[in-house]
A and B are shown apart, each in its own frame.
Chain A
Amino acid sequence: MSENLLEVKNLKINFKTYAGIVQAVRGVNFEVKQGETLCIVGESGSGKSVTSNALMKLIPQPPGIYEEGQILFDGRDLVPMTEKEMTKIRGNEIAMIFQDPMTALNPTMRIGKQIMEVILKHNKNVSKADAKKRAIELIDQVGIPFPEQRFKQYPHEFSGGMRQRIVIAIALAAEPKLLIADEPTTALDVTIQAQIIELMKEIQRTSNTAIIFITHDLGVVANIADRVAVMYAGQIVEYGTANEIFYNPKHPYTWGLLGSMPDLDNDADQLLRTIPGSPPDLIHPPKGDAFAARNEYAMQIDYEQDPPMFEVSATHFAKTWLLHPDAPNVPVPEAVRKRIEGYIQKNKEAGIDLGKVGE
């Protein structure tokens, strides 16, 4: 198994507001290996974007507070680093892509120049001519036609999808080891989204960059993830490989997320499965399991004690008391089970056997 590129240990991030202290991230642990894609999936307020911004030390302080924890990148802890040290890492070793490409582009500068700037900053020994050549290569690599002409254009001359490609080209210009993408396709149309995801997968194949991909869309996760972290109320509630999360989900929240997506194949007469209620207030997080109140399988213990991460397999963990040996056996809800079985069946017909997963 390859070395961990990034290791996040017990990360806690708070925000001071007038109403009180918001515990946005409440003890998050995960790691990312060289060349793999970790998807952090969650709804708004789950802490997924705060987590990704925290990795880049982009949390404004105040009101943000790094309460506890370590962010070990290549063995160095980023949390105590100064702003000056971080600027060397940002854009060089870790690059970030945001939802709105315009926030990352300078509207008054030709896109070619913006890419060249990063190349020159990253590598002092590169000549201007070489940097230009490399920039044009990058524009070509992210799938923009006529790169030489496009090199001279300004951001406003591109469509939303093309702009996001340029942002990706800029992010790649410094050959980062880790690329953090915070909902990069959420603002895009579905056909463009599909193209951008293809592009990111392609990049990973060719450059072996590790990717952290933040999204709320489980379909996108299934498409791109090697591993998945499901976040709820500032904590990771389930963590595993993509196949484990989608074919053998263990946490009731993951069941809820999977069940609330409409299934294109299934009968439309049934109502969608929903997760009742609303997420908890993170100024006063509830006692015990934060998901308990919305969980139809909640047990007495859920209201009293926060569950630990139970091990399902060597790579699969879930934070629910349902996995305790004394807990009653709760099967996956029928609607979700049917759908998973449908997928497994379809894959079998296509000649892919999932083996043990999904039982």
Chain B
Amino acid sequence: MAEKILEVKNLKQHFGSIKAVDGISFDVYEGETLGLVGESGCGKSTTGRSIIRLYDITDGEITFQGKNIHGKKSKKELKQFNKEMQMIFQDPYASLNPRMTAGEIIAEGFDIHGMYKNKKERKEKIGTLLESVGLNREHANRYAHEFSGGQRQRIGIARALSLDPSFIIADEPISALDVSIQAQVVNLLRQLQKERGLTYLFIAHDLSMVKYISDRIAVMRRGKIVELGTAEDIYNYPVHPYTKSLLSAIPLPDPISEATRTRIPYEHEEVGDDAKSHEVFPGHFVFGTDAQVKEWYTH
């Protein structure tokens, strides 16, 4: 198995009395895509933002490339961290500064880190990045609002690639896009992963796209990871009733089976303090009390 690139241990992120993330643990291996799914408010985006240090965490430990990433850091260490880990955002309209051109947006990273010798090299780098995400290098001088949603998301991807990171957190990168454009962006992400050996944490609420792009999937609900396993396992052999409910709710483009398909409603069962993560199958974890997990598994 590949090396662990990221280890999250008992991460807690509380905002006042709201426990957005409430003690989750998972690992991400080099070169893989870990999908993090859940419905709105489950804490998946907060998890992503905590990992990339946009929030100071309440409790827990996050180790990236063998180093604890929270706590005091020197400027040099921080800069190194910024180069290694990047983020793609959800909203292609809010994630690009409307007063900047595509070139300025993409160059922001290497402007900050002073990663070029002269103007010519900077321009060349912008052009290469634009082309690597399937945009025209002549468009560097255009403003964000001149691009379509899908093109804007490509600019966001180019910005994330500008520092040549090894790990990218994609926070719902396609949920604001049209269906046909979603496929373009997902294909681009997969192609870039292959070319550059990237590792992704892919956050989404759409289980079908996550299933497609991920090697492993973690299902989150109310600040906890309720189930984690390979994409095939989660899809074919879900154990937690919440995962089953989510899967049953995905609408399929098949009218006849849709007419007869039954949704599995999820009735939340309170879990006490004795609930923990159980490995029901090698690499397949389910969160619950001993009795619950036993019942779900045999069911």
Binding site for B on A (CB under 8 A): 43-44, 160, 189-195, 197-198, 216-223, 225, 242-243, 246-247, 256-264, 268, 271-276, 278-279, 343, 346-347, 350, 352, 354
Contacts and interface: CB of A to CB of B under 8 A. Distances in A.
Contact of A219 (B148, B184, B248, B252): B252
The main secondary structure of chain B at its interface with chain A is helix
12 contacts: A191-B249, A193-B251, A194-B248, A194-B249, A198-B263, A222-B253, A222-B254, A262-B186, A262-B212, A271-B187, A276-B184, A347-B257
A204 B81 CA distance: 56
B240 to A, nearest CB: 14
Interface string B118-159: 000000000000000000000000000000111100000000
A194 B254 contact: no
Interface of B: 39-40, 148-151, 178-184, 186-187, 190-191, 205-209, 211-213, 231, 235, 245-246, 248-258, 260, 263, 265-266
B254 to A, nearest CB: 4
Contact of A272 (B148, B183, B248, B249): B183
B258 A243 contact: no
Contact of A274 (B183, B246, B252, B254): B183
Contacts of B182: 260
Contacts of A279: 148
A256 B235 CA distance: 25
Nearest to A354: B256
A268 B212 contact: yes
A262 B251 contact: no
A346 B231 CA distance: 22
A216 B253 CA distance: 12
A260 B257 contact: no
Given A189-B205, A219-B252, A222-B253, A274 B184 contact: yes
B178 to A, nearest CB: 4
Nearest to A241: B255
B258 A278 contact: no
A350 B150 contact: no
A347 B245 CA distance: 22
Given A43-B179, A271-B190, A217 B251 contact: yes
A273 B252 contact: no
A222 B258 contact: yes
A263 B254 CA distance: 11
Contacts of A246: 253-255
B227 to A, nearest CB: 15
A237 to B, nearest CB: 13
B216 to A, nearest CB: 12
A218 B258 CA distance: 12
A76 B126 CA distance: 58
